[in-house]
Chain A
Amino acid sequence: MRIQFKTSYDHDIRLFKDGWQAFLYIALLALMVVLPWLIDDFFLGEATNVLIWATCGLGLMLLTGQTGQVSLGHSAFMAMGCYACVLLMEAGVPFILAFPLGGVITGLVGALIAIPALKLHGVYLAIATLALAILTDDLIVMLEPWTGGVAGKFAPAIEVFGLEINRWSSPAAWYYMALIVVLVVTLFYRNLLRAPMGRAFAAVRDSEISAQAMGVNIARTKTIAFGISAGITGLGGALMGLFAEVFNNETFTFIISIQLLMMIVVGGLGFIHGAFLGAIVIAFLPQVLSIATDSLGSTVAIPGLETGVFGLIMILFILFEPMGLYGRWLKIRTFLELFPFARKDMFRRQKSYLKTERLR
């Protein structure tokens, strides 16, 4: 077990706790950078997909994991980010501007939507946001002249500083683009967590009443969380649509929202790592399942199998490992560090329940 000696306040403010941790993350980053040389184009595409899901997941994580507001409406923000970005590109705005602008527009819409949703808690908020997702699906169909409706839209070619980014001719460039986006989002996320805003998010999540007594404006904090969350997820949605090359209302159905929520629960609510681990699970599950069904000799695809299996995994996690994959890893790590002194009940679960279930 490593013991950190803290000698200045910066120790707690820095991104990494110590040199060893910084080394680990730099090594991981180096691995991500050389990945295109290590794996073939198919798996590089899968890796890109993981990064895109992780971006969307980070957006929802900020709202649900950090601020405690459950949303089943994030597919709507993915769609908004995607259509905003593509429409701007079609209007002649270069991708390098259209992409962040799409995120900003989605963020502002998300903040606006938050205002009527502020009074809702827990399950009620989940239902209201689910309605938003379904409504957006319909809106995409109805606004056919702009969105292409059911027939969908072809993603325009992406060009950044004269370099064309195409998933077939330059998969590595696509991968790097997704990597840069997710890294920037992660950095912003981390910065928020070590600043007053991030602590206000946690305060609202854990006790609205004492957050208020400490001067946190609940409505404002939730609105900001909604806005930033929608903005990040919008960026992820734009990447997802562009990566798919063709997208329509089906690309962003409410099922995607549910998958996104499952993803962050399985990964570990409240942890940045959770968004990434969940993204790995959700991106590779279809492959694992198709290999499994193939080896069982089944030739026809079973409809709903993916969602069903994923739902089952989520229920198992909620029952047995509410802190998700990342929580499990933390336990394994502590066990190894303390070996052989770890105690069995060290992580015994405290009684916990949703705040909404609590009687005031």
Chain B
Amino acid sequence: MSLLTLDNVTLRFGGLTAVNRLSMTVDEGEVFALVGPNGAGKSTVFNLISRFYTPVEGRITFDGTDLLRLAPDEVPSLGIARTFQNIELFDQATVLDNLLVGRHRHRRTTLVEQMLHLPSVRREERAHREAVEEVIDFLDLQPYRNKRIAGLPYGVRKVVEMGRALASKPRLLLLDEPASGLSVEETQNMRWWIDDIRRQMGITVLMVEHDMGLVSKVCDRVLALADGAKLAEGTPQEVQNHPAVIEAYLGTGDAA
């Protein structure tokens, strides 16, 4: 069953067509990868789904809901969470507070209740913390729990950002280059985590990744983009061996 559908989506930045008549579907329960050379439009697809950009034509639907009718801050309430290519965390806050922001869509108490710290608020806070503690355990973030983001190493931030997205208990998780800049061990961890996210948590994953080793290990299906348009789609092997894909990578001199 298809969870996310892009139908003939086009986006232009001035004269540049960043996404060109792109159609794709992501099925519930799968791990789907977007690959392609630098500047192919992969992150732009994520930003379209997050509603930071509005396409000039085409439709984007999530589980039957028209995403284009929503504001960016309404998208998470459907169960879509994401990470950013350049890590966008709340730098002056602690890891715990960052993860708790992930719970934002689950809050039910009003401003006045919160100001007075009524029992309803405390009850809700306990539930939020329970959910966040699960994520901390899952991603082994205990040592960093009360540390500010500003002092943390890159690899840890990357994991915290994924944790923040997981804390929102999404149905669809968008990961923009989860393994970029990570060491070999960290990439290995990322691979197990993505597997568990799909298997144990039942979350559908759409990711952008240059590391074809990782892609072929964790992904069910891959879509290759170049200049905003679809080049090929299929299993990791099919896409990697597709003549147009080989051509695109060699053509731009990007041997990812």
Q: A191-B115, A196-B107, A350-B151 are in contact. Are A213 and B93 (CB under 8 A)?
A: no
A212 at interface, CB cutoff 8 A: yes
B150 at interface, CB cutoff 8 A: yes
B122 at interface, CB cutoff 8 A: yes
A206 at interface, CB cutoff 8 A: yes
* B92 lies within 8 A of A206 (CB): yes
* A191 lies within 8 A of B114 (CB): yes
* A210 lies within 8 A of B104 (CB): no
Chain A residues, Cβ within 8 Å of B202: none
* A270 lies within 8 A of B92 (CB): yes
* B111 lies within 8 A of A197 (CB): yes
> How far in angstroms is the closest Cβ of chain B from A182?
16
* B89 lies within 8 A of A206 (CB): yes
Q: Which of A161-211 contact B (CB under 8 A)?
A: 188, 191-192, 194-200, 202-203, 205-207, 209-211
Q: Which of B88-141 contact A (CB under 8 A)?
A: 88-93, 96-97, 100-105, 107, 109, 111, 114-117, 121-122, 125-126, 128-130, 133
Interface residue total, chain B, C-beta cutoff 8 A: 45
- Size category, A interface: 20 to 34
Q: Which of A239-272 contact B (CB under 8 A)?
A: 270
Chain B residues, Cβ within 8 Å of A12: 96, 129
- B71 — nearest CB in chain A belongs to which residue? A217
User: CA of A217 to CA of B107 in the docked complex: distance in angstroms?
Assistant: 13
* A194 lies within 8 A of B82 (CB): no
Q: A215-B73, A216-B101 are in contact. Are A207 and B129 (CB under 8 A)?
A: no
A10 at interface, CB cutoff 8 A: yes
> How far in angstroms is the closest Cβ of chain B from A196?
4
* A195 lies within 8 A of B125 (CB): yes
User: CA of A191 to CA of B118 in the docked complex: distance in angstroms?
Assistant: 10
B221 at interface, CB cutoff 8 A: no
Chain B residues, Cβ within 8 Å of A10: 122, 126
Chain B residues, Cβ within 8 Å of A202: 90, 92-93, 97, 101
